[in-house]
């Protein structure tokens, strides 16, 4: 799903009864993801019940190989974001049966 498709689905949601414009929905979606990013950056994590948790994780420095030359290279330490899905999400996509 793309951002435009998400905005379209939210704007057409029956619970909103057509009272919200696509522009307003786009503003809310942009704000939501900005706040998620801020939370991960500042607090190191963002959790949403029944969906999952985004966490900032450290990657250690390691050795790698340049695929073009085959020569060894040093890959510096870095930070990344990992996602751990909640049990409800796993069940919804068929990952766990209960």
Which residue did the predictor score with more confidence, 95 or 74?
74
Domain boundaries 3-92, corresponding CATH code: 4.10.520.10
pLDDT of residue 68: 96
pLDDT of residue 18: 78
Phi and psi at residue 62, in whole multiples of 5°? -150, 170
Domain parsing of the chain, residue ranges: 3-92
Digit-coded pLDDT (tens) for 5-45: 999 999 998 888 878 899 999 999 999 999 999 999 999 99
pLDDT of residue 95: 64
pTM of the model: 0.76
pLDDT of residue 23: 95
Q: How many CB atoms lie within 10 A of CB 47?
A: 13
Give the E-state strand segments of the chain in sequence order. Answer: 45-48, 52-59, 62-65, 72-75, 78-85
């Amino acid at each position: 799903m793309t951002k435009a498709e998400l905005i379209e689905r939210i704007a057409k949601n029956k619970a909103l009864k057509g009272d919200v414009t696509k522009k307003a929905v786009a503003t809310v979606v942009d704000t939501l993801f900005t706040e998620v990013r801020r939370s991960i950056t500042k607090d190191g994590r963002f959790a949403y019940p029944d969906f999952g948790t985004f966490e900032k994780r450290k990657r250690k420095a390691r050795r790698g190989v340049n695929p073009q030359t085959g020569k060894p290279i040093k890959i510096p330490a870095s930070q990344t974001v990992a996602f751990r899905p909640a049990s409800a999400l796993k069940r919804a996509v068929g990952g766990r049966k209960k």
